[in-house]
Structure 1
Amino acid sequence: MKHTWSLLGAAAIGAALVTGPAWAQQPAAAPPAGQTMAAPAAGQADAGAPPPYSAEDARAILNARLAALKAVIELTPEQDKLWPALETAVRDIVKDAAQRRAQRSQQPPPATFLDVLGRIADAEETRGKDLRRFVEAAKPFVASLSDAQKRRVPAFLGMTDHPGGPQPSAQIWLFEEEDDQS
């Protein structure tokens, strides 16, 4: 049972490192009475729209998440020595997810529902391999954590720490860079 929770803890860390930020925005202000808002010309950005999500934004958010996770866990000096391997795995997975999004944006849209399902299957298979890569990288790190540190991880990730409770959605932030940013 304890081994299962250790593996779940490792998977939970991976899950937390993947679920994306919520982008809450204020609704656009209504135009003054009698006026309408014209759509921007083709190829022009809407002057009132926020700037597009950039690689710098993604890097800053990932850096913040990793720093927050370290702060929540309160690593000992010995545990801190195990952190770089885990962090490297996370950064590599996030980078790969961003590259997949860029490649997908260059592909023609799927022609049939079978093409869509095939792409979903390919993406899920790749994400599964990346999650397995994360779990393997996380095992030595998670094994070094105290019970108190392990208890903090699910709360940080928004998970419950008892069996059978609701868990986070399938949207893991390790892969958010794979999703379209709009």
Structure 2
Amino acid sequence: MIKQIAFAAAAVLITASPFAIAAETSSTVGMRHPITGADLNALTDARVGMIKAALQLTPEQEKYWPAVEEAIRARAKNRQARLERVAELRDSSSPTEVLREQNAVEHMQRRAEALSQRAADLKKEADAWEPLYKTLSQDQKKRMAFVTVVAMRGMRDTIERRIESGDDDD
């Protein structure tokens, strides 16, 4: 069973690593190879597959899975829309122009709206997970925690690489 979890985690990390490298490269080399919607969809598919494989749901638990998957995908779709809006703003003008023309109050309102949307998405996902989580065995909960740690570690490493590459540019 541990081998299956390790295999699933390795498969996701191998699948996701080119996207992480592409994201890092695109942010440091003038966006020559930006991450596309298809790339983000592939990452979401990999995430959903990894979680489901790690949990090894029973037939009784399977009935709760569609709501969880739908919530994960909806949250990812909204995240993608936010990233696209940020990219549009970044592409439309230089950072200096944006800062000069920015209304601080409007910026705070847009930020509050974005945070509210993220909170609502997370709440929907938590609500979808709740019935399934209640049925998970201790072993399944441990595997879920393992998958979460692996995913968070991957995100942390990507962020650290981006920060380090940004420091090199200064």
Normalised by the size of structure 2, how large is the TM-score?
0.59
Residue identity opposite 2:33 in structure 1 = P
Q: Which has the higher helix share?
A: 2
Identity %: 27
The residue aligned with 2:41 is 59
1:121 and 2:112 are equivalent in the alignment: yes
Q: CA RMSD in A?
A: 3.4
SS in 1 for 2:143: helix
Q: Does 1:23 align with 2:5?
A: no
> Does structure 1 retain, via aligned residues, the 8 Å contact 2:74–2:121?
no
Bigger CA radius of gyration: 1
User: When the two structures are aligned, how many residues end up with a matched partner?
Assistant: 125
Alignment match, 1:13? none
Where do 1:1-150 residues align within 5 Å? Answer: 23-24=20-21, 51-106=33-88, 109=98, 111-150=102-141
> Any stretches of 5+ residues in structure 1 without a counterpart?
1-19, 29-44, 160-167, 172-182
Query: 1:62-119: CA deviations, max 9, x gaps?
Result: 1111111111111112212211111011111211222233345556846134333332
Task: Supply the distance in 2 between the matched residues of 1:134 and 1:147 (Cα, whole angstroms).
Answer: 21
Instruction: Give the letter for the 2:122 counterpart.
Output: L
| Residues 15-67 of structure 1 deviation map (CA, whole Å, 9 limit, x = unaligned) | xxxxx977236x99xxxxxxxxxxxxxxxx97xx7632111111111111111
Amino acid at match of 2:74: D
Kindly provide the amino acid, as one letter, of the partner of residue 149 in structure 1: Q
* Distance in structure 2 (CA, Å) of the matches to 1:66 and 1:122: 27
Structure 1 residues 50, 68: CA separation in 2 closer, same or farther (over 3 Å shift)?
A: farther
Counterpart for residue 40 of structure 1 = none
